Amino acid sequence: EILRKQVATEVMQEMQASGTSPNEAEISQRVIAKLRTRQNEYSDAMKEDCIRDYGKANQKQCQCFINKVDYNAHLARMEKALNADPKIRAAEVEKAQQLRQEQEMTAIKACDLSIAHSQETPKASGKTDLLTKIILGELLQQAKSAAASGKPLTETQIPQMLADKLHTHLADFKQASKEDCLSTFGSDKKSECQCFADKLDYEAQFSLVIKTLEGEPQAQKKARQARQQAIMTTGKACGLSASIAKAKKQK
């Protein structure tokens, strides 16, 4: 994330220096192109992110994860997608991102990474997203096993199985949300973060995961907006705000 922000800043500065009027599409294209010239650095950064999430004891597993996902190939697909015809660009970008997510889910399982490992890291960082990826990885393995046995899961079964798994892990999502909240707002906001974890609309969270799996861009957009609204509403109700998070970062 830090590397992407650094590259985005460089791109913005270059465009401003050349008098080019920045627009979102061109910025994205230039960022990906620049990251491709720094592929080794990008892979190293992704490995560091993995170690941050799973702990230093899992460095070998994180190297396994990076080897299996192949972020260099992902950057190439993203560059191709961003240079596609504007009419299909969004759909192509979505496909590239979905393929990367599928590879990450497979790698998490294959490299023996789990939510238990992630808890070795003192600082909570993206625990909600991490838990989601692990659940999706489990579902992917089930789908592969079913297909190998000659009884592939149907398009109706897969979303239903995912919904069941997400609800089964509701308590884990509440704990992950609390830890993410504390990471963002600070350890002195324990009561506020407990309030946030208890009151958050997890149905909005689960709906976004399911819609993302189904791959319908418009449905994903609506689900993402609903989830964001749920987060903002709950945060406000529990006395949390962007200004508090900003103050915590400045300490």
Q: What is the pLDDT of residues 140-159, one digit of tens each?
A: 888 878 888 888 888 788 88
Looking at the fold, whether 103 and 176 belong to one and the same domain comes out as no
C-alpha 191/C-alpha 240 separation (Å) is: 11
Cα(174)–Cα(198) distance, integer angstroms: 7
d(CA 232, CA 245) in angstroms, rounded, equals 13
Give residue 114's region: left, alpha or beta (phi > 0; psi -120 to 50): beta
Q: Is residue 31 within 8 Å of residue 7, measured between CB atoms?
A: yes
Answer yes or no: pTM beyond 0.75: no
Answer whether residue 142 is part of any domain: no
Mark whether 3 and 68 lie in a shared domain: yes
200: pLDDT strictly greater than 70: yes
**Cβ-based neighbour number of residue 206 at 10 Å:** 21
Please report whether residue 93 resides in a domain: no
Write the DSSP symbol of residue 183. H
Q: Are residues 131 and 238 both part of a single domain?
A: yes
Same domain, 190 and 77: no
Same domain, 23 and 111: yes
**Structure tokens, 250:** 């400045």
State the residue range of the domain holding 130: 126-137+151-251
Q: Are residues 56 and 176 in the same domain?
A: no
- Whether 6 and 110 map to the same domain: the answer is yes
Q: 80 with 157, same domain? A: no
Q: Indicate whether 246 belongs to any domain.
A: yes
Is there a single domain that holds both residue 8 and residue 112? Answer: yes
For the chain, give the percent of residues with pLDDT over 70: 85
Q: What does the alpha-carbon distance between residue 22 and residue 14 come to, in Å, rounded to a whole number?
A: 10
